[in-house]
Structure 1
Amino acid sequence: MITTQGLTKVYTSRGRQVSALQGVDLHVREGEVYGVVGTSGAGKSTLIRCVNLLERPTSGTVTVDGVELTALPGTEKRAGRELRAARRRIGMVFQHFNLLSSRTVQENVELPLEITGLDRAARRRKAGELLDLVGLADKARAYPGQLSGGQKQRVGIARALSGDPKVLLSDEATSALDPETTRSILALLRDLNRQLGLTVLLITHEMDVIKSVCDSAALMRGGRIVEAGPLTDLLATGESELARELFPLSEFGTGRPDGTVLEITFQGDTSGRPFVSQLARTYQIDINILGAAVETIGGRLVGRMRVELPGSHQDNVVPIGYLREQGLQVDVLGATATAPATRTGAVADLITGDRALENGVVA
């Protein structure tokens, strides 16, 4: 649905060139919620503004819903007729709402429809339907100054949907909101994604946003995408930096020098299996659980457990193979050179501790 190839954007300031994007390749599938995450200055906002050509790339291509936008005539300040028509199929939600204070909520939603020349009765009907969709039908006659931050963002979302877009772009839409309101806006975006079949591309600097609503994600750094893919694939990859950020286990213990420490990732069907107790019974070994956590990421139950097996890696080749045969992602962290003074998290003998962890009860 959204594809960029070799996208670059270079700004010139005081005779000096600054590269905001450096060869960005992005592929967002139809119907998914895709998040781009990174620190300030990574190039996230420039990327999303290039997707709808609010910023025209220095080089590279942007294709949305089969239309190569970068091939259409026009400039950043003056778009051609074809580009304007293509943009109407792309909704945009901004961080700071951008509502007109002199217009009512309904009139703000009607504004894009007014610009396209839709008659007044049709505008009013369409705006009413959209306000009902975002849960603000009772605020149609209110003014932006009478709304909370979350309500203003819902108006912004309704306005972005006025052209019946297939794609919705969200540029840090929740960064100015409190946590509870953020959760409600993210839930709304997910509902719209499912009800309307919208493809959603959102920009954020918060891992919790990626975790709660996205199907796929990309990590940006220095104007480049350094890692990207479906969350389920990333979580199954031990080397994934994004997965480590989404689901950190750094606070858990690292084991004894004479043991083998494993990090086990389980998701979907495997999350309900008592694999640790089965492993202990099958191979007659004692296992220390150094830490575990279960979370819902992208609507899917995902768990990680760090355990310690007695003996060296070589001594545990068969038990490790058994775990992998169960469909689990197993990463060998190895033995530490020195044991930590204390262990954080749950350190428990297998038989007394693993059943509670496998049922989602985390110490």
Structure 2
Amino acid sequence: MITTTGLTKVYRSARSRGRHVTALDGVDLHVREGEVFGVVGQSGAGKSSLIRCVNLLERPTSGTVTVDGQDLTALAGRGRRAGRELRKARSSIGMVFQHFNLLSSRTVKDNVELPLEILGVSGQARSRRALELLDLVGLADKAKAYPGQLSGGQKQRVGIARALAGDPKVLLSDEATSALDPETTRSILQLLRDLNQQLGLTVLLITHEMEVVKTICDSAALMSGGRIIESGTVDGLLATPGSRLARELFPVGGAASGPGRTVVDITFHGETASRPVISELARTYNIDISILGAAMDTVAGRQIGRMRIELPGSYEDNVVPIGFLREQGLQAEIADGDGGDAGDGGDEKNHRTAGAAAAPEAAGTAEAARGAAPTVPAQQTAPAKETSK
């Protein structure tokens, strides 16, 4: 439904004597029809420039933007003002702004009617459509109120109703919940998900809040320095070894308690999220397992989580237990050694590579171990300290 190819946006800075600032640097993005797609990143990552280029509120320096099979960049022309064809194409794209952008002198109903008024829709049809949309967003009783009489969440609902006035196929959301309290944020996100399902809308939203991605997004992309550095379905990213976005969505911390210990990050999803796999691991191999951190939540109706555990001994001592975890359908990675991601020192990179190659062999060894009394290294013979996930 939305595709950008090689999208760049370069701004000329008036304060720095002609210096150019690159906000977008060759962005390739693909949003499928009917999905909720979130773009996340820190301030200055290029998120706002990206979403404003999608509907050509900002003209890209180069690259193409295609929405519903139509190349919008080909309709832009050379002038600063949008031509008739571009304005017509934009009517299928609604946009919700961070700060509502409502006209204080107009009633709620009149604010919703504004896009239809610009499109030349007759007064009676405008009124009927506005009332339908206000009912859809739960504000039928506020039609005659003014924006100054509304709460922040109600104002954003008016903004969403206005964005839907032209019956768009695509809804763009520019940090629509960042100015709202947590409870109101949840209600607005639920409204966006309901609209996505009821109307078949494709929703592209930008946010710096990981909770937004966990709550409603089917797919997501992580931006940094004007580039998309990672993208995919949320489920797929969580199952991808080394995914930065997965670490951001479910951060876990905790350093090794001392030298000669192996720190492992585990991702649970699907049926594995409800199974006592850590207990099974401790019983099967009679090893001490310390849980350093854990995060669990529901994403798209499924429980997903990450856990950081510490195993006694070096990586080589724990190849079989780690293989057991992978055999159970879990993603198990040796934790990085930078910052709070503690592990087993400078050899972790080699350990991780070796672990990926050894996973099938280790899994087979784990299968055999369950059929016989496990043989474990001497440092792994203490009773398990923690036996539940």
TM alignment of 1:16-165, pairs within 5 A: 16-74=19-77, 77-165=80-168
Question: In 2, are the aligned partners of 1:36 and 1:217 still within 8 Å (CA)?
Answer: yes
User: 1: CA distance between counterparts of 2:196 and 2:387?
Assistant: 37
On the 8 A contact 1:56/1:75 being kept in 2, the answer is: no
**What amino acid is aligned across from residue 96 of structure 2 in structure 1?**
V
What is the Cα deviation at residue 327 of structure 1? 0.8
1:195 is displaced (CA, Å) by: 1.4
Q: Equivalents in 2 of 1:319, 1:288: separation in Å?
A: 14
Q: In 1, distance between residues paired with 2:22 and 2:79?
A: 18
Q: Which amino acid aligns with 2:270?
A: G
> Contact 1:55/1:76 (CA < 8 Å) preserved in 2?
no
- Would you say the 8 A contact 1:255–1:261 is kept in 2? no
Q: 1:196 to 1:351 in 2, by over 3 A?
A: farther
User: Offset at 1:29?
Assistant: 1.3
Say if 2:344 is the partner of 1:335: yes
- Give the 3 Å change call, closer, same or farther, for CA 179–125 of structure 1 in structure 2: same
Conserved 8 A contact 1:10-1:21: yes
Return structure 1 stretches of 4+ with deviation > 6 angstroms: 349-352
Does the 8 Å contact 1:134/1:188 carry over to 2?
yes
The 8 Å contact of residues 88 and 163 in structure 1, kept in 2 or not, is answered as yes
Counterpart residue identity of residue 10, structure 2: V
In structure 2, how many angstroms separate the alpha carbons of the residues matched to 1:328 and 1:66?
39
Looking at structure 2, the residues matched to 39 and 258 of structure 1 have their Cα atoms a distance apart, in angstroms, of 36
Counterpart residue number, 1:360: none
Distance in 1 (alpha carbons) for counterparts of 2:383 and 2:178 = 42
Alignment of 1:176 with 2:179, yes or no, is: yes
Structure 2: gaps (5+ residues): 336-342, 347-381
Secondary structure class of the residue paired with 1:168: strand
Alpha-carbon shift at residue 76 of structure 1 (Å): 6.5
Q: Deviations over 1:34-66 (max 9, x none)?
A: 111222222111111110011111110000111
Aligned residues of 1:109 and 1:155 also touching (Cα < 8 A):
yes
- The aligned residue for residue 281 of structure 1 is 283
User: C-alpha offsets along residues 189-208 of structure 1, whole Å, 9 cap, x if unaligned?
Assistant: 11111111111111112222
Structure 1 regions of 5+ residues with no counterpart? 338-348, 358-363
Counterparts of 1:354 and 1:284, CA distance in 2: 10
Shift of 1:350: 8.1
Task: Please give the root-mean-square deviation of Cα atoms over the aligned residues, in Å.
Answer: 2.0
Q: For the residues of structure 2 that align with 1:214 and 1:193, how far apart are their CA atoms?
A: 11
Q: Indicate conservation of the 8 Å contact 2:286/2:383, yes or no.
A: no
1:144/1:152 contact within 8 Å kept: yes
Verify the 8 A CA contact 2:106 2:146 in the aligned structure 1.
yes
Structure 1 distance, partners of 2:79, 2:186, is: 34
Aligned-partner residue type, residue 235 of structure 2 = T
In the alignment, what sits opposite 1:340? none
Deviation by residue 1:138-177 (Cα, 9 ceiling, x = unmatched): 0001011111111111000000001111110011111222
Deviation at 1:213, TM superposition (A): 2.1
Q: Is the 8 A contact 2:282 2:387 kept in 1?
A: no
- Judged with a 3 Å threshold, the aligned counterparts in structure 2 of structure 1 residues 32 and 142 are, in CA distance, closer, same or farther, namely same
1:290–1:18: structure 2 CA closer, same or farther, 3 Å change rule?
Answer: closer
Supply the distance in 2 between the matched residues of 1:82 and 1:350 (Cα, whole angstroms): 72
Q: Report the TM-score, using the length of structure 2 for normalisation.
A: 0.83
| Aligned 1:318-357 pairs, distance under 5 A | 318-333=320-335, 334-335=343-344, 353-355=386-388, 357=389
Partner Cα separation in structure 2 for residue 287 and residue 100 of structure 1: 59
Tell me how far apart the structure 2 counterparts of residues 210 and 49 of structure 1 sit (CA, whole Å): 20
- Does the 8 A contact of 2:250 with 2:296 survive in 1? no
% identical aligned pairs: 74
* Distance (Å, rounded) in 1 between the aligned partners of 2:104 and 2:12: 34
Return the offset for 1:73.
4.3
Q: Deviations over 1:278-299 (max 9, x none)?
A: 2233333332222322122344
Q: Distance in 1 between matches of 2:79 and 2:101?
A: 19
Matches of 2:197 and 2:270 in 1, distance apart? 20
C-alpha distance in 2 between matches for 1:41 and 1:310: 42
Alignment-mate amino acid for residue 132 of structure 1:
D
Determine if contact 2:251/2:295 at 8 Å carries over to the other structure.
no
Cα gap change, 1:273/1:12 in structure 2, threshold over 3 Å: closer, same or farther? same
How many residues were matched structurally?
344
* CA deviation string 1:215-247 (max 9, x = no partner): 222222221112222222222233222222211
TM-score (structure 1 length as normaliser)? 0.89
Deviation at 1:253, TM superposition (A): 4.1
What is the match of residue 6 of structure 1?
6
